[in-house]
Amino acid sequence: MDLFVSRYFNKIDKKGRVSFPSSFRNVLPKTNKSEIILYKSIKTESIEGCGVERLKEIAKRINNLDFFSEDYDDFSTSIFSEIVPTKIDKEGRFLIPPELKDYAKITNEAAFYGKGHFFQIWEPKNGLNSSETSRKRLLNEKKSLRTILTQQK
């Protein structure tokens, strides 16, 4: 499967390393299995992450915006200037950069949420709250997978 799926809760060790879920590692391209791209979410107090190919897709979409628009400036600045390429060691661990940890309020445990073509890293309680809010919103608005699947035909 080439998508980031499921949810994992991993402790941060004394050296500040956290294990990247093995199923997430399997999504990374074979040519670049040891690098993930991390950046601050622009929607939530979480860290978003992806592989290099997803970053290229984001860059392409931002590049399609009007070069002189505030949207172009806001997106390019908020995403690209804050990207932190991060290496995964042979045991599957990596360091969450301090500025990203602070942004997401992560201390001694990190929650990984698969989001399809990208993933999020949350402080565990905040991640659970966000997940619960999303589900409630779908239920309250009576949205289902059928809704989005039939719209794309």
Asked whether residue 117 is assigned to any structural domain, the reply reads yes
Classify residue 78: in a domain, yes or no. Answer: yes
- Given a cut of 60, whether residue 153 has pLDDT beyond it is no
The total of structural domains in the chain comes to: 1
Per-residue pLDDT at 29: 87
Is residue 151 predicted with pLDDT exceeding 80?
Answer: no
Query: What pLDDT is attached to residue 143?
Result: 77
Does residue 75 form part of some domain? yes
* Inside any domain, residue 1: no
| 101: CATH | 3.40.1550.20
75-124 tens-digit pLDDT? 999 889 999 999 999 999 999 999 999 999 999 999 999 999 999 999 99
Answer yes or no: is 80 within a domain.
yes
Identify whether 28 is part of a domain.
yes
pTM, rounded to two decimals: 0.89
For the chain, give the DSSP string: --SB-SEEEEEB-TTSEEEPPHHHHTTS-GGGTTEEEEEE-SSSSSEEEE-HHHHHHHHHHHHTS-TTSHHHHHHHHHHHTT-EEEE--TTSEEEPPHHHHHHHT--SEEEEEE-BSSEEEE-HHHHHHHHHHHHHHHHHTT--HHHHHHHT-
* pLDDT given for residue 140 in this prediction: 86
Whole domain around residue 118: which residue ranges? 7-123
Residue 141 lies inside a defined structural domain of this protein: no
Q: What is the pLDDT of residue 10?
A: 98
How much is the pLDDT for 152?
60
Tens-place pLDDT, residues 31-81 = 888 999 999 999 999 999 999 889 999 999 999 999 999 999 999 998 899
pLDDT score for 145: 75
